[in-house]
Structure 1
């Protein structure tokens, strides 16, 4: 324990009163129809930080009714791209204004470091501005090549009412990867944030109203997957569901939505590999590996939770990774110097630990960590930075999404073997390669089964570039122009010019 970089309790003050979160339905803040509420206890400090309304099917029905009416009446869907863009830009400015407030609530509810939370909110504002640019440039197609008698048009129209269901690990950033694109397209929405992190989505609702969004265009219902998420998924008045979370829940959503054949977009789990070749810049690679596995305490779909290292450098690379891991500041997320904060719940921490202990019992070696981390002055749950070597590809720790600060180390001899290990997974969200040889990088990028491939870097993201997975990592894309296309339907308009059509019946 003394060999780790542990940040004790900071001098930052937790708010004396819990944040009160209510549903946003048809432009007004409302308590649950049955009066139910729930508390969110900070995973790092052990105190109640949010008191939220707990939604029921009645609340979902009211929210969907409001979104359906707003869409059908054209309160938002018939506005111009200029009007939509102007509002999205206002929201971005308001997010910047409220960055500290949003980041504090995100830190208290999720346990992530305050410095990281602030950076995420800053990035979210940029996404809103990018989506605004798409609203101004949205267009269809014309076909003037169908002969003298015809003109063809392809109109791009908003898909309709969208249910947006978001997770607890990046609550503000992930709703931002969905909502502004839906709004840029002209859709209306009902949002359900995770019951563990409802506050920042409620704050976003406040900013939307302040920016002048018409009533009913965006509605927020707080509560649990059952009944809130279930009702949002099955209601026939909903045209599309977009969900980020576990693969198991994603599969359940696809099944539930099949009754009405509504569109479903999913961003799910990952078991993301980084492959390190002997000619790589090892200093940069070690730093990226440490960042990739410990960022957000490993509670990240893009976590670089398994590395595949060439056997000639595996021992040295593992040793250097362990040494750098000891320097990463774990501890109080309210301290600006902290890089890794708390684990979201005690139950999740126990799950993380089971993977590590089972791997050790199966012959893997725990090079670092492998148990809970005590942080002086804090009551929450933390887990040590953990590196596990001698991992075989068939072990659960190498195949399942551990979702914690746990790195699995595998080895390879040839590029073909490395590719085989990369693709021998149910997931296909992201992958990385480290080599100074551009031919190696390009061959890897072509063969890796992943929605994103990073070469000589890890987890760099841009609003312009699409994000999403293949295989059991999901379907559909967020961000970029593809993120807008998810919320659009193509309508063909075939126009005959003049009266030259020959009679069918003469």
Structure 2
């Protein structure tokens, strides 16, 4: 049986009120509407935001445009921008408990996990600060005595940053500090379900010294506030994280003005297990990979592709450990799996499990929603006897549901791993490193972990193949993504090789 921990009511909790940040001012929306967010783990309203429309989006874009075209930020030295980003990181650390609490109650993620994410986010801001000082172009003095070539890297301009609900503070931190390090200005739209910590980030950036208009933050739905950020002619680049479906729409909108796009989208990530793997390590990683953030994670290890010789043992051991996972109150420090983001999403997850069961899959553990009196929760679930063509094996469930598939040969394992539309990440488990490297090079995914899963570092690029997205975040080239290259071709001395003869030139 899953360990269930009933949430405690939020007695005496005061709803937090937020305004939007446009041109350095905390302001109401043009139409005076509000968005209320109810905590998925407690059922009570915890946040209230000003609801942005296209009018507010256009105001924010105009502010960012003016700050880029006429303001000081793009013209600062890298060292000056770096110092401000480092101050922001220090303030993030100082307000980490507040930010983690907001992410916890708005998204339903466990408070211990939210605090860990804040530490990772602060590290990313510091890494971006270092890159601000290292951004540079190239020079070519090998083009002949009369020519010097210089290639500049210039900030691309105004960037719209659209972030999802599953990692509210961490994902904006994978984008915004690199855009700022390059000298860009930005309009940020977090998910309307989890906007609190991003709005607090606006306060942090003000305190750190980011000039007014450089970062604008609005809250609203995709059709109302998000769409203008993907199509407006004054936006130079769109950085979007979310579902593959909305990513395609974002790309189509951006194509109207040929904007640069960076897309981090869905995943259906395999962990491939060979008979010689260290199963003690793997079983723990499988449970972590499947249920971290309640499976609401593009990197979730939602497919176990297990060699047939150990498939029964692996399924049994993962099921036994899954039954010990603690599910419940996101504010309890011992909780490992928190709440599901909305009732509608919970129903979708349950529907995937029901459909798989009706088509021959076996529920080895879990399989149902968990009624804890408050909020919405899902039992950690394992489905065995899953066929590669089942929807649950191909589509992103985005919940704590693990599918187990069997293979007999390495080629078959790789074929199953690559048989879907996604290519975000994968894991390979074997004591034979030749096996790990062979599989790692043939699996089409942006990240392949070997004998571990879902580790990360600010220095390592993150992104996917195929319908998992376009471009990479993090890593030493992350700042370059927010730049354009410009060639300066300089001629020294009198021009040679005239096209017209001298007598024609007079």
TM-score band w.r.t. shorter chain: over 0.9
TM superposition shift of 1:8: 2.7
Q: 2:466 aligns with which of 464, 471, 479?
A: 471
1:5 aligns with 2:22: no
Match of 1:365 in 2: 362
1:52 has 2:49 as partner: yes
CA–CA distance in 2 between the matches of 1:15 and 1:245? 34
Aligned partner of residue 405 in structure 2, secondary structure? strand
Map 1:214-225 onto structure 2 (within 5 A): 214-225=211-222
Q: Deviations over 1:80-135 (max 9, x none)?
A: 00110000000000000000000001000000000000000111000000000000
Which residue in 2 is equivalent to 1:157? 154
> What is the CA–CA distance in structure 1 between the aligned matches of 2:281 and 2:492, rounded to whole Å?
63
For 1:302, the equivalent position in structure 2 comes to 299
**CA distance in 2 between partners of 1:397 and 1:492 (Å):** 49
> RMSD of the alignment, in Å?
1.0
Question: Which runs of structure 2 are paired with 1:340-351 in the superposition (5 Å)?
Answer: 340-351=337-348
**Structure 1 residues 124 and 14, CA, compared in 2 at 3 Å: closer, same or farther?**
farther
Separation in 2, partners of 1:307, 1:150: 58
User: Following TM superposition, by how much is the alpha carbon of 1:288 offset from its aligned partner in structure 2, in angstroms?
Assistant: 0.3
Is 1:380 matched up with 2:378?
Answer: no
Alpha-carbon distance in 1 for matches of 2:498, 2:255: 43
Q: Superposition pairs for residues 448-467 of structure 1, below 5 Å?
A: 448-467=443-462
Equivalent in 216, 224, 227 of residue 224 of structure 2: 227
CA distance in 1, matches of 2:326, 2:80: 45
Aligned residue in 2 for 1:186: 183
Give a deviation string over 1:315-371, Cα, whole Å, max 9, x none: 000000000001111110100000110000000000000000000000110001110
Aligned to 1:254: 251
Residue 46 of structure 1: SS of its match in structure 2?
coil
CA offsets 1:193-226 (integer angstroms, 9 cap, x no match)? 0010010000000100111110100001111001
User: 1:281 deviation in Å?
Assistant: 0.3
In structure 1, what is the Cα distance between the partners aligned to 2:331 and 2:498? 77
Residue 404 of structure 1, aligned match among 399, 402, 425: 399
2:115 to 94, 114, 118: 118
Which of 125, 129, 133 is the aligned partner of 1:128?
A: 125
SS in 1 for 2:263: strand
Secondary structure class of the residue paired with 2:377: coil
Q: What is the aligned residue count?
A: 501
Which residue of the other structure, out of 165, 177, 192, is the alignment partner of 1:168?
165
Q: Could you report, residue by residue, the CA deviation over 1:218-252 in whole angstroms, capped at 9, with x for unpaired residues?
A: 00111100110001111000000000000000000
Could you list the runs of 4 or more consecutive aligned residues of structure 1 that deviate by over 6 angstroms after TM superposition? none
Deviation at 1:260, TM superposition (A): 0.4
Q: Which residue does 2:26 correspond to in 1?
A: 29
Is the 1:75–1:217 Cα contact (8 Å) retained in structure 2? Answer: no
> 2:69, 2:369 → 1: CA distance?
52
- Structure 2 unpaired stretches of 5+: 502-506
Equivalent-residue separation in structure 2 for 1:221 and 1:9 (angstroms): 31
CA shift digits 1:234-289 (9 cap, x unpaired): 10000000000000000001111111001111000000000000000000001000
1:317 and 1:233 map into 2 onto residues whose CA distance is 45
How many Å separate the matches in 2 of 1:88 and 1:503?
50
Find the aligned partners of 2:40 and 2:261 in 1 and give their Cα distance: 32
How much does 1:4 deviate?
Answer: 1.5
Aligned to 1:74: 71
> 1:14, CA displacement in angstroms?
6.2
CA distance in 2, matches of 1:303, 1:111: 17
Of 423, 435, 441, which residue of structure 1 is paired with 2:436? 441
Confirm whether residue 326 of structure 1 aligns to residue 316 of structure 2.
no
Contact kept? 1:10, 1:335, Cα under 8 Å: no
Tell me what 2:504 maps to.
Answer: none
Q: What residue in structure 1 maps to residue 196 of structure 2?
A: 199
| Contact 2:132 2:182 (8 Å CA) reproduced | yes
SS at match of 1:493: strand
Q: Which runs of 5+ in 1 are unaligned?
A: none
Contact 1:21 1:198 in 2 (8 A): no
- Is residue 190–residue 219 contact of structure 1 (8 Å, CA) maintained in 2? yes
Find the aligned partners of 2:330 and 2:67 in 1 and give their Cα distance.
40
TM-score (norm 1): 0.98
Instruction: Tell me the distance in 1 between the aligned counterparts of 2:161 and 2:68.
Output: 16
Instruction: Confirm or deny that 1:488 pairs with 2:483.
Output: yes
Secondary structure, counterpart of 1:168 in structure 2: coil
